[in-house]
A and B are shown apart, each in its own frame.
Chain A
Amino acid sequence: MKTVLKTFAAALLLGVAAMGVAKADPVKIGVAAEPYPPFASPDASGKWVGWEIDFIDAVCAEEKLECVITPVGWDGIIPALTTKKIDVIAASMSITDERKKTIDFSDKYYNTPTAIIGPKDQKFGATPDDLKGKIIGVQVSTVHAVYAKKHFGATAAEIKEYQTQDEANQDLAAGRVDAVQADSIALGEFLKSDQGKGCCDLKGMVAPDLEVLGPGVGAGIRKEDTELKDKINAGIKAIRANGKYEEISKKYFDFDIYGEDSQSN
């Protein structure tokens, strides 16, 4: 009995000691729970992999932050940030004025053009005239949904909003929508898949609209966490400068996904 008590007490002490040793809480990096290859998706073992995961890991390593990946449903990711379930959003979230009312963003870390895809057997482009009378599928609450409504809303038959990009793509393959608008890289990945190869191809890139599409994708951070924001910005600058950013990008893409260098917000 005595030894049992002793071990118990020792274990308790050890536990307390361990808690004391542990530094500040790790930074919880929120990624969208819905797979978004090649940026972020779980592999067969459930580990999150992709460009964005490598990128944020590199930033964390650069700034000596202890980071853990935390998947959160896309539709609740901003509330999850404001209620401190996560500390950073790294989920290919475009920087917009509307979102800036609620949260703050780091500098952009990539910016890719927006594309329209459609069925192979139909020929059309990516202008409002081309999409006249068509049903366009977009993911709900994305810049693409806003863009589609603003530029195609008047001519298209309907702008159909889906909870995930996967569902929009699936309905394009099933013929329930005539076109899908989304980020060119995400759509490129779908077109490379078996289902995408069979049904659809690229119709074109939409005309730019800085006001809606914004400067690009940034990391979402709580407004009061200025220290964390500075660290992430410094980390992005550092890996851009030392070639780490390029090294990671080459693993996934055959072109520069950073886009124009002009804006820094």
Chain B
Amino acid sequence: MAGEATVINVAARTSLWLQPHRIVLILIALALVLGAAFFMRWDWLPQYYEMGLLGIWRSLWILAVTCFLGFLLAVPLGLAQAAGPFWFSAPAKAFCTVIRGTPLLIQLWLLYYGLGSLFPQYPWIRESWMWPYLRQAWPYGVLALTLSFAGYEGEVMRGAFAGVPKGQLEAARAFGMSRWKIFRRIWLPQAIYRALPTLTGETVLQLKSTPLVATISVIDIFAVSSKVRQDTYLTYEPLLLLALIYMAITGILVFAFSRIEARIPNKIG
């Protein structure tokens, strides 16, 4: 399949892609964009774009950091549930159940308004080097989102680890590989391959969980759009632009993950 595609030259590919239904959809989208540009109020954009860019940057780094750290946590969580002894698997299972069973907003507020408001009672914390960080909002947002991602992805990784055929692991052992080597070369890579399609979905969901940090005074892109709404009393314009921004980020994420998935040999197991 992939071999044929490279043979077709660029012009032919473009004409293949520009089918009638796609042209109609593009025209409709163009009409919507032009309509929005000419019939709505956008005079607030110059005043807020800098704040908006900063907001997008914050949303993106929060997404990247929490997904990365969350995934690092998810691997041991999944492994413990799939193959660990009882005293490993039970706490891991309990963690995933609690995280998946409670709304993220509650976890976030428990950390920020609950845990975070306990710290200042202790003078030694107030005087320590950690205090400038602990009094800010973003560490709580990052922690809550990381734990949430780890909870969901831990469950996915459990299934992925369990799904790698036993025969492969037995064959690796027969080759005389150590347990660590089996994990690193056989078990983990195949589990990640299996989990990848789900990982795309989880990352997109995580993107759409990030606006919750606006409720604890982190100025992400959602908070910026709320501010525009409250300052200018416009309802649709900032919300529509916000929706468009999230859609664009989602599009880029899905595209990036599909490229990664395409690199994986499709015959595994």
Contact = CB atoms under 8 A, between A and B. Distances in A.
Nearest to A74: B230
B217 A167 contact: yes
Q: Indicate the member of B215, B217, B226, B227 with the most A CB atoms within 10 Å.
A: B217
B135 interface: yes
B230 A170 contact: no
B113 A170 contact: yes
A141 B135 contact: no
Contacts of B226: 75, 140, 163
Interface in A158-174: 160-163, 167, 170-171, 173-174
Nearest to A177: B135
B185 to A, nearest CB: 47
A160 B226 CA distance: 15
A174 B119 CA distance: 8
A192 interface: no
Given A141-B231, A170-B113, A161 B120 contact: no
A176 B136 contact: yes
Contact of A75 (B116, B126, B215, B229): B229
B229 A175 contact: no
A40 interface: no
A69 to B, nearest CB: 22
A75 B230 contact: yes
Contacts of A174: 113, 116-117, 119-120, 135
A176 B137 CA distance: 9
Interface string A170-190: 110111100000000000000
Contacts of A173: 117
Interface in A55-113: 75-76, 78-79, 82, 102
Contacts of B113: 170, 174
Q: Indicate the member of B113, B135, B136, B215 with the most A CB atoms within 10 Å.
A: B135
A79 B235 contact: yes
A176 B230 contact: no
Contacts of A79: 233, 235
B104 to A, nearest CB: 18
Given A160-B217, A163-B215, A176-B135, A141 B116 contact: no
A254 B135 CA distance: 37
B117 A161 contact: no
Given A175-B135, A176-B136, A170 B117 contact: yes
Interface of A: 75-76, 78-79, 82, 102, 140-141, 160-163, 167, 170-171, 173-176
A-B CB proximity, top 6 nearest: A175-B120, A141-B230, A174-B117, A78-B233, A176-B135, A75-B230
